[in-house]
Amino acid sequence: MSLAFCSDLRRPLPAAGDAFDEKCVLGGALVGNPSASRSPWPWPVQAVLAPVLGDTRDSVQERWTADGECQAGEFKGIAFRRSRDILFGVIELDEHAFSAAGETRSLQAATEEAYRRIFQLLAAQDLPHLWRVWNYLADINRDTNGLERYRQFNIGRYDAFVAFDRAATGNVPAACTIGLRQGRLSVAFIAGRLAARPVENPRQVSAYYYPAEYGPRSPTFSRAVLLTLPGQASLFISGTASIVGHRTVHPGDVAGQSREALANVEALIVEAKRLSPAAAFTQAGLAYRVYVRHAADYPVVRDVLAERLGEAAEVLFVQADICRHDLLVEIEAIASTALGSC
């Protein structure tokens, strides 16, 4: 059992309908041009409708592959594919369909419903462990019904975890929650039979222990998770920003925020290697997705990352909003490394 990530940033992906893909691809993402968002591929694809920065292409495709045959399925609006003990799924919900949900805010209700369906699917597939989640929603920093939409999202996510007797602290998945200009609530996820090990950053307060000033419910995610499969270790680093303790640092300074976010990524790598000494993770060896709030800041962010990671690093830059008004950049990353002989 193995899990691999591939992006057409470095090499072209096989064309749609390729027999190898049909058998081995779990799912993926298409980042960029809305006109390319309808997937012609026979696996679930999360459409991230946000501008790609510094690339001449309209969109970039990413995919997850397994070492065994994948079986497709659908469950309550979730498109998924499974290969033995690993599952990738995507669900999109129109929050306006939840606008009449009593006193509950529509985004909060849609988020809770999305996560409830995910947990129901994982129970039905007997793959209980949620490893990594990608959340996208419109207008993340806007106030509606008396509360910022990101905070509404956090309430809905938390309530679903509690409703299914899942821990809301400690053993929770890696995740990012990013704002787009428009579109439905979109959640993609990877889950499996084995438990991943949460990794926290000693430079930061764990997000699920944030004080009440950040909202009625704290965010339900780990800073990273470490997954150990036979012969392989994978590291999923959540969306990581310029936060020390629980405070934003370097407000208004995109270069300073970029360096601080990279320092937090490095702290997570060090902690992951402490937990798994045989895992040879390096900062330059990770694959990155970097969210930049203002397109005009892209050259600064690019140069900071190139200085730290080198020109050959695999980095996808995307213009998108971030969970706090004062955050200008957010970095997520993934890596896999061999453990002994496979």
Residues labelled as active-site residues? 330
For residues 338 and 4, the answer to whether their CB atoms sit within 8 Å is: no
| Beta-ladder partners of 129 | 192
DSSP state of 252: T
Say which amino acid occupies 79.
Answer: A
Residue 143: CB atoms within 10 Å: 11
For residues 138 and 148, the answer to whether their CB atoms sit within 8 Å is: no
Q: Which residues contact 284 (CB under 8 A, 6 or more apart)?
A: 309, 310, 312, 313
Dihedral in degrees, nearest 10, Cα atoms 31, 59, 282, 67: 80
Count, residues in the chain: 342
Say which amino acid occupies 209.
Answer: Y
Q: Please list, residue by residue across 306-342, b when 16 or more beta carbons sit within 10 angstroms of its beta carbon and e when fewer do.
A: eebbeeebbbbbbbbbbbbebbbbbbbbbbbbebeee
Q: How far apart are CA 161 and CA 288, in angstroms?
A: 28
